[in-house]
Amino acid sequence: MSTPRIRKAVFPVAGMGTRFLPATKAVPKEMLPVVDKPVIQYGVEEAREAGIEQFIFVTGRGKHVIEDHFDHAYELEALLEAREKTKELNSLLESLPDTGSVSFTRQQKPLGLGHAVLCAQHLVGDEPFAVVLPDDLMVGKPGALKQMVDAYNEIGGGVIVAAEEKTREETQRYGVIDPGRTRGNITEVRGVVEKPSPADAPSTLCIIGRYILPPSIFLELERRERGAGNEIQLTDAMARLLGHVPFHAVTTSCARYDCGDKVGFLQANIAVALERPDIAPALKRMLASLKF
């Protein structure tokens, strides 16, 4: 039997973004711009590159502008057309997902990442799917999810997470992997634990916000068991799949910027701008002139 294709991606975007107040009082954190695109759009483009056809957003109160962002803006488009601002018009149209490819559901209570994914169960159905945490901005070619889908096809299914080495002190902020054998950039996963204390972390190889999951994850999430922070943790549900399905971590060649953190967000802006030929020369001059 051939490995089923990954057609759907879930984007948990219900978080309140309290770390970015007051900016996120009326604007969802996923809509904050990295250079000139909202953070969420990078995640969607990465997913599209990986072959994703259905984009499922798990939103919450006050997140409706995300829906507007992925819809036509008729007045704006008409105005840009009338003024012959073709470049700007094209940038809007290019970022529009295909008709019928976007769905929204709500996480009514902030009960954790596992709960957010569970909220998408009825839209995912009985097939393997990807989860993209847009706060983790991945920059590189091929994109992180594409590299993971390639690994998934090579292995022939199961759970795939993206991973990155962190310092021991940082392990308390992540899902941490108990690693088995490594071949190339793929490591067997023997165990995962959510936000362990540094002394208890099984390694310093941490999960970052990209996942490929089998539909059987929903059976585990449905148990609604609380874990770290008294939340329903995706990591705990994945841990219960160990031994039942293959489980691997992919260390992608992409750079990862944590846009959920102020310094990470600034770093993402600078890194992405430095890759842009229209901005990089002026930015480099500006950075060189900064005095600390």
Interacting residues with ligand G1P (CB under 6 A): 113, 133, 136, 174-175, 194, 206-209, 233-235
Q: How far is the CB of 227 from ligand G1P (least distance, A)?
A: 9
Q: How far is the CB of 6 from ligand G1P (least distance, A)?
A: 19
Nearer to ligand G1P, 11 or 80 (CB): 11
Q: How far is the CB of 176 from ligand G1P (least distance, A)?
A: 8
Nearer to ligand G1P, 6 or 206 (CB): 206
Nearer to ligand G1P, 189 or 207 (CB): 207
Q: How far is the CB of 173 from ligand G1P (least distance, A)?
A: 7
Nearer to ligand G1P, 41 or 233 (CB): 233
Nearer to ligand G1P, 233 or 252 (CB): 233
Amino acid at 61: R
Contact between residue 210 and residue 162 where contact means Cβ atoms under 8 Å apart: yes
Q: Which residue is nearest to ligand G1P (CB)?
A: 175
Q: How far is the CB of 71 from ligand G1P (least distance, A)?
A: 27
Q: Which tokens go with 2?
A: 């051939």
Q: How far is the CB of 96 from ligand G1P (least distance, A)?
A: 28
Q: How far is the CB of 258 from ligand G1P (least distance, A)?
A: 7
Nearer to ligand G1P, 80 or 268 (CB): 268
Of 194, 195, 196, 177, residue with least CA distance to 186: 177
- The full 3-state SS of the chain, as one line of letters, equals CCCCCCCEEEEECCCCCHHHCCCCCCCCHHHCEECCEEHHHHHHHHHHHCCCCEEEEEECCCCHHHHHHCCCCHHHHHHHHHCCCHHHHHHHHHCCCCCCCEEEEECCCCCCHHHHHHCCHHHHCCCCEEEECCCEEEECCCCHHHHHHHHHHHHCCCEEEEEEECCHHHHHHCEEEEEEEEECCEEEEEEEEECCCCCCCCCCEEEEEEEEECCCHHHHHCCCCCCHHHCCCHHHHHHCCECCECEEEECCCCEEEECCCHHHHHHHHHHHHHCCCCCHHHHHHHHHCCCC
Nearer to ligand G1P, 40 or 207 (CB): 207
